[in-house]
Amino acid sequence: MALGYGRGGELSSRPLVGVGALDGSRAGRDREQRLTLAAGGAGRPIFRCVWSSRLSSGSGRPIVDLRHLRYFAAVADSLSFTAAAERLGVSQPPLSQQIRDLEAELGTALLWRTSRSVALTPAGTAFLARARRILAEVEEACDEARAVGAGRTGTLDLGLTGSILAGPLGRLIRCFGVRYPDVLVRLHEMPPGEQPAALHARRTDLCFLRAPPDDPTLRVVRAWPEAVGVALPAGHPLAERAALALSDLADEPFVSLRLRDSRFATSLREACLAAGFAPRIMQQVVESASLVNLVAAGLGVALVPDSIGALKRPDIAYRPLSGPAPVADVCALYRAPAGAVTENFLGLMRDELGASSEGSAAP
C-alpha cells in the first residue's frame, strides 16, 4: 500500500491507479530503484517513491557486514586500493565497489580519493578504530569456538572415589594438564552408587568405578587393570605368609565398604562365597581411608585394591592373593555423545594406559 492522491486531491492510502516507470537503478546488493508513480488523470500530482533492496529488518539502521569491515581496514592500512586488493586476493573493481557501498550505507565519505592518493576522512578515522576492534573480537570468537570444538579449552568434571586417585589416575590428570593447559579439571568425590546419576544429570563428564552398573545408556572403557590383595593388622599371624588364598580368610572377621553403595564390595563378597565361605562382615564404611583405619585398629581384615596396598603404613600388612582371586579393574564411564574435552581425555588414557574394550555398561 502506498500513499497517493485520491479524488479531489485528498491524501489517500488506497493503491495508486496508474503506471509505474523505472527511472533508473544502481548495481549492487543495495541497489535503489526509483519509481515514478502517477495518479490516473490529467493534472493529478506526481511524486517519486524510492526504496532499497537492503533495508535493515525495519530497524532503520545501516546494514554493514564483515566483508565491508575487512575491505575498508585493508584499504585504510595501506592507503592504496591496489595494495589492498592484492592483500585480500581480489580484483580492484569489486573492492572499490564494496567501499562505495559501505559509504552509501553510512551516508558519509570514509576516504578521500584522488588519482594519486587515498586518505582517511575524519569519519573514516573514527570508523576504522571501531572496525578494527570488531574484527579482532570476531577473530577471537572464532579462535575460541575452534578451541572449544577441538577440546583444547573448557572444563572436565570427573566423578570418583578417593581410592581411585591412589592409582594411575593422578598421573593421567597431570599428563592431561600438560597437554591441555587451558582445560580446567574438576574432581568430584562421591560414592560409587551416585556416579551414574551424576553422569545422567551432566554434573560429571567421566566417572571411574571398579564395578560398572548395569546401564545400557552409559559407555564404559576399561581404564586400567588392578589386582586385589589383603590388608591385615600389623602382627597378624597371616602376615607371616608371602601370599594368601581367599580360603585362608574364612575364619577372619572382615571390614568392608558398604555393600549397598558399592558393587565392587558386593563382587568381593561374591568371590568369598565362590571360595567356599561367607565373610563375617563386622563393619561397613563408605570410604577406603576409613576401611584401612579399621584394619589398623584390629577390627578385621579387608580385601583392597593393590593401589591401596601400595600406600605403605607401618600398622598394616598387605599381602597378595594367590590362586583364583577377584580383580579391581577400573572402568571409565561416560554418557554418549561425549564432548571434545572428554574425547581428548579418553584418547590420552588409551595412549598412556592402554585403555580398551569400549562398550555399553550393560552386562
Q: Where are the domains of the chain?
A: 4-52, 66-149, 154-225+329-360, 228-320
pLDDT for the residue 357: 57
- pLDDT bin (cut points 50, 70, 90) of residue 23 is very low
What does CATH list as the number for 228-320?
3.40.190.10
pLDDT for the residue 126: 96
Indicate whether 73 pLDDT > 70: yes
Task: Cell numbers for 264, please give them.
Answer: 565392587
Indicate whether 175 pLDDT > 60: yes
What does CATH list as the number for 66-149?
1.10.10.10
Reported as a single tens digit per residue, the pLDDT across 212-246 is 888 999 999 999 999 999 999 999 999 999 999 99
pLDDT for the residue 360: 55
Cα–Cα distance, 263 to 261 (Å, whole number) = 7
- pLDDT bin (cut points 50, 70, 90) of residue 88 is very high
- pLDDT bin (cut points 50, 70, 90) of residue 177 is very high
pLDDT for the residue 316: 95
Q: What is the dihedral of CA 328, 329, 335, 339, to 10 degrees?
A: 130
286-293 — which CB contacts under 8 Å span 24+ positions? 286/191, 286/257, 286/258, 286/261, 287/161, 287/162, 287/163, 288/161, 288/162, 288/163, 288/166, 288/257, 289/162, 289/163, 291/231, 291/255, 291/256, 291/257, 292/231, 292/316
Question: Whats the size of the chain, residue-wise?
Answer: 363
Instruction: Summarize the confidence of residues 19-27 as an average pLDDT.
Output: 35
Q: Cis omega before residue 305 (within 30°)?
A: no
The whole model's pTM is what? 0.70
Q: 10 Å Cβ neighbour count for 203?
A: 15
Tell me what the pLDDT averaged over the chain comes to.
Answer: 83
When mean pLDDT is compared across 38-42, 164-168, 237-241, 345-349, the lowest value belongs to 38-42
The residues facing 49 across adjacent strands are 35
Reported as a single tens digit per residue, the pLDDT across 262-315 is 899 999 999 999 999 999 999 999 888 899 999 999 999 999 999 888 888 999
* 66-149 and 228-320 share one fold: no
Instruction: Summarize the confidence of residues 164-184 as an average pLDDT.
Output: 93
Cα–Cα distance, 292 to 302 (Å, whole number) = 8
CATH superfamily of this structure's domain 154-225+329-360: Periplasmic binding protein-like II (3.40.190.10)
